[in-house]
Structure 1
C-alpha cells in the first residue's frame, strides 16, 4: 500500500547486524519467543497469555451482516462497485463522519490508469449522448477527419464500456464483541518497514492487562529477528509467508489483526487467506487500496554504503515527517530499545521487494471483515485522501481521524489509539429482533360463524326440555304410560 515517497518511513539509523538468540534456544523469556519459520530464518515474537481469573464465554448473539456486492472491472481500468446488501448491511456502510448511508454504488478510477476517461456506467448499451454526438458531427459537415475522429471516439467509448470481469460476493458474517476474558480471542500486531514489535509497547501492555492474548512478531531483518544476507529474503511474498506461519502457530477461533503502514498489507493478505478466522481488522496509516510496486526513483535504490553515510540525514527526515512534533519525547521514542534500528542492506532490500500486484482495489473490495481505519491527520507519508479512498472501497469500514497524531500515531497518542481499538473490539451490530410468534389464522367461514353466534343469540339452537330442566334444577318425572 505504501510506495515511493512513503518509503521514507524507513529513514532510520543504521545497524550492522541483528542480535539473534541462537536457533537451538527457543525457551520463552520475559514474554519473548524465537520461532524458526524456515531453516536459519528465526523471528522474535512477543507472546503474552495473561491470567484470566474469570473465564467468560462469549455471551449474546451479536449480529449478522449480509455481505452482498457486485464488482465490475472494465477494460479501461475503471471499477464499478454495487452494494446489494439488505438493510442490515446498509446500516454498517458508514461515511468518514460516522453517518450511515444506504445501499449505493462506488465508481473509482484504478490507480495507474493512463487515460482520463469519465467514470464507468452500469454495464449496458451505449448512451444516447454518444449517438447524438455522431449525428451532430455529421450534420455540421466538418469533413472526413472529423468523421474519423468521431468514429474513433465511439470505438474508444465502446472499449470503455467493455466488461473485463465481474466479482460477486454473497455471504453473511456473524460479528460479536471480543472481550479480553474470552479465551478464543487473539490479537496480532504487525509493524511496518524499519520498525519492530517495540512500536506496539503501549498497545501490548494495555491489552494484555485487559486479559487479551497478544502476539507481535519482528519482521525478518528487524528488531531481534535474524537478518538473511540475500535480497530475496525481504520480498513481500517471503515476508507474507513468514506472517502466515506465525498466524497458523498462534491463531485462535476469533483473531483480530492490527497493522501499521507496510504491515497493513500483510494483514490484508491474511484476511484473504483465512476469512473464517479473521474476526476484525485494524489499519493504521496504511494508505490507499493500490497494488504494491517498488519506486524506480527512490533514495533507497542507492548502494548500501551510501545509505550508511546518509543515515543521520535519513534519521532526521523520519523524525520530522513521522511525528507531529519533534521534541525530546519523540527522539526518545526513536532510540528507546532500538525500536527503529535496521541495517542499510535490509532497508534497501525491503523497499525493492515491495512488489504485490494482486493487492489492488478489487482485492480490497472483496474483504468482508469489519475494518477500522485510524489515520493521524499530520501524517506526511500517507495523505488522508488515501485512507478515505480505502474506506470507500471496503464493504464495512470505519475511518477515524486523530488530530494530534502523525504517521507513528500509536506511539504519539497511545491512549487515544488504545481507546479506539478497544471500542472497536467490543463493537457488534445490533441483533435482529426475534420473529413474532403468530397464531394460525382462522378461516373466513369460521370467523363468520363465530361472529353470527355472538351477535345473534336468537339463532342459537335451543336446548331440549330435558337439558333445560337439568340446567334449571327442576325435578323431572317420567310417565311409564307414555313409553311404548
Structure 2
C-alpha cells in the first residue's frame, strides 16, 4: 500500500501520467489470440478458438417455434403495464365471470423508486356508469355516504406491440453456424472466462472472448470519451460483425450484460440465446454523482490497494489464498486508475430502461451468485419478471465472480441452456369430415333395424333389384 501511495504522490507532483496502459505481451504460448484494430489506434485483444471438429451444417433437432406476443404500455406517471399474449410467455387467455377475456397475470409496476412512487391505480371500466354491481339503494332514514370521485382513464404515453415468432433449437458444438461470445465487465479481462472457454472449446464450440478497451492486453487510450458505454458498445458491435455466425449466443458478466443487451437489440435475428451473469436490474445506466470513483485519478491510484481489497471482499464469497490467486492469474481488477475512473463515469445509457429490456424476444438465462454484494438478488428477480423468456438460476456458493468460484456449476448451467429447445406440441388430429345424417335418415334407419323382415342374413348376396336401395361400397384409392 505504501508503494501505491508513493506512485500516486509522484503522479500528482509530476506532469507524467503513471496510469498509461499499453498492450502487454501475451504470456500464452498457444495460438488463438488475435489483435483486432476496431478503429485507428484502438486495438483489442480477442481470443478466438475454432476447434477441430466434425462439422454438421444443419441442426440435428427440429427445435420449436415460440410465439412472442406482448403489449407494453407506459403511462405518463411512469407506470409500466405488460400484457403477455403469446404461448411462449405462458399467458393464456382466460374467461372472467362476466364472460370477458382478460390476459392472465399481467405485470404492472412502477418505473420510479418504490419509496417515492404512488400505488399503481387500475383503470376503471367505462361501462360501469350505474355504480358497482350488487349495491342496494339506501333505506329510508339512512344517509348515503358520498363515494370518492372516479378516476379518469389515463392516456398512455407510449405503447409498444411485439408480435413475432422465433425458432429455437439446440446449439451443439458440432454445428458450424454456432458461435459463443463472452464479454466481461469493469475491471475484468478475457482471462476470467478461462474455465468456460476451455470447457466449450473442448466440446467443439467456436468461442470469441474480447478484452474491452483499457483492459487485459487491449490498448488504453488516454481519453475519457473512449470508455463511455456507447464507445465500448461500438467496439463490441464491430467485433460481433467480424466473428458472427448464423446462430450466436451472448454471455455477459456484470457491465458486459448491458453490452450484450445492446447487441441483442441491434441484431435480433442473429442472436439465438443470451446469458446474463450478475447483470442487475433492467434500469437505465447513469453515473453516480456521489462515488469514490469521482475522486482525482492520482487519489484513486493511491487508494488502488484498498480498492483491490474491497473488490476481493465483495466479489468472492470466500477471501482466501485461492481467491487471491484467481484474481492474479486471471488478470481481474488489474486496470489503471484512469481507466477505472473513466469507465465508471461513462456508464450513461438512458435507453436501457425496463421497456428496452421488455422488448427482447430472445431466450435468456439469468445466473446469480447468492453472496453477491454488488448486485442484489432482487434486481435479477425483477429482470426475470420483465423479460419475455427468462430462467433464473441462483448458485448458493457463488458471489459476483461466480464463473471463477463455481466453474463446473456455471459450465453445466450454460451447456444445458445452450442445448435447451422448447417442446413442440404434437399436431392435433383432424376430425373425420363425415356428413351428419339428417333426422329423417336416422328415423328410417331405426325403423329398418327394428323390423326383422328387413334384416338380411349375413350369407345373403345382394341382387340387381335392390342395388338402388343399398349403399354402394367405397372405391379403393389408386
Shorter chain as normaliser: what TM range? 0.7 to 0.9
2:199 to 206, 209, 232: 206
1:390 to 369, 383, 386: 383
| Structure 1 unaligned residues grouped into runs of 5+ | 1-13, 23-27, 93-101, 132-138, 142-149, 468-484
Displacement of 1:450 in angstroms is 11
Q: Deviations over 1:83-134 (max 9, x none)?
A: 1113x54189xxxxxxxxx942111111458842112424765999x99xxx
Partner SS, residue 258 of structure 1: strand
Counterparts of 1:443 and 1:338, CA distance in 2: 77
Alpha-carbon distance change, 236 to 444 in structure 1, aligned in 2, over 3 angstroms: same
What are the residue-to-residue correspondences of 1:38-49 with 2, within 5 Å? 38-49=39-50
Counterparts of 1:388 and 1:225, CA distance in 2: 34
Q: Deviations over 1:200-228 (max 9, x none)?
A: 00000000000110001100111111111
Task: Tell whether the 8 Å contact from 2:282 to 2:352 is kept in structure 1 after alignment.
Answer: yes
Q: Deviations over 1:320-362 (max 9, x none)?
A: 0110000001000111153331111111111110000000000
Displacement of 1:396 in angstroms is 0.6
- The root-mean-square deviation of aligned C-alpha atoms, in Å, is 3.3
**Aligned position for 1:476:** none
**Aligned position for 2:303:** 310
Q: Deviations over 1:353-380 (max 9, x none)?
A: 0000000000001111010000000000
Partner SS, residue 387 of structure 1: helix
**Aligned position for 1:458:** 454
Displacement of 1:19 in angstroms is 2.1
Task: Tell whether the 8 Å contact from 2:85 to 2:91 is kept in structure 1 after alignment.
Answer: no
Partner SS, residue 161 of structure 2: strand
User: Which structure is higher in helix share?
Assistant: 1
Task: Tell whether the 8 Å contact from 2:192 to 2:330 is kept in structure 1 after alignment.
Answer: no
Alpha-carbon distance change, 123 to 430 in structure 1, aligned in 2, over 3 angstroms: farther
1:427 to 420, 431, 435: 420
Residue 265 (structure 1) aligned with residue 258 (structure 2): yes
**Aligned position for 2:97:** none
**Aligned position for 2:364:** 371
Q: Deviations over 1:129-151 (max 9, x none)?
A: x99xxxxxxx999xxxxxxxx99
Task: Tell whether the 8 Å contact from 1:107 to 1:120 is kept in structure 2 after alignment.
Answer: no
Displacement of 1:434 in angstroms is 2.5
Alpha-carbon distance change, 449 to 414 in structure 1, aligned in 2, over 3 angstroms: same
Residue 332 (structure 1) aligned with residue 325 (structure 2): yes
What are the residue-to-residue correspondences of 1:156-175 with 2, within 5 Å? 158=152, 161-175=154-168
Residue 407 (structure 1) aligned with residue 393 (structure 2): no
> Could you tell me the TM-score, scaled by structure 1's length?
0.79
What are the residue-to-residue correspondences of 1:208-287 with 2, within 5 Å? 208-287=201-280
Alpha-carbon distance change, 230 to 53 in structure 1, aligned in 2, over 3 angstroms: same
What are the residue-to-residue correspondences of 1:47-196 with 2, within 5 Å? 47-53=48-54, 55=56, 57-86=58-87, 88-90=88-90, 103-112=104-113, 115-122=116-123, 158=152, 161-196=154-189
1:17 to 12, 18, 21: 21
Range that drifts further, 332-341 or 233-242: 332-341
**Aligned position for 1:354:** 347
| Structure 2 unaligned residues grouped into runs of 5+ | 1-17, 93-102, 133-143, 468-478
Counterparts of 2:443 and 2:431, CA distance in 1: 22
Counterparts of 2:282 and 2:447, CA distance in 1: 72
Partner SS, residue 90 of structure 2: helix
Task: Tell whether the 8 Å contact from 2:55 to 2:175 is kept in structure 1 after alignment.
Answer: no
Task: Tell whether the 8 Å contact from 2:56 to 2:175 is kept in structure 1 after alignment.
Answer: yes
Residue 299 (structure 1) aligned with residue 292 (structure 2): yes
Partner SS, residue 202 of structure 1: helix
Alpha-carbon distance change, 173 to 70 in structure 1, aligned in 2, over 3 angstroms: same
Relative contact order (alpha carbons < 8 A, sep ≥ 6): 1 or 2 greater?
A: 1
Counterparts of 2:325 and 2:177, CA distance in 1: 36
Range that drifts further, 397-406 or 65-74: 65-74
Q: Deviations over 1:420-450 (max 9, x none)?
A: 0000001111012124244432353698699
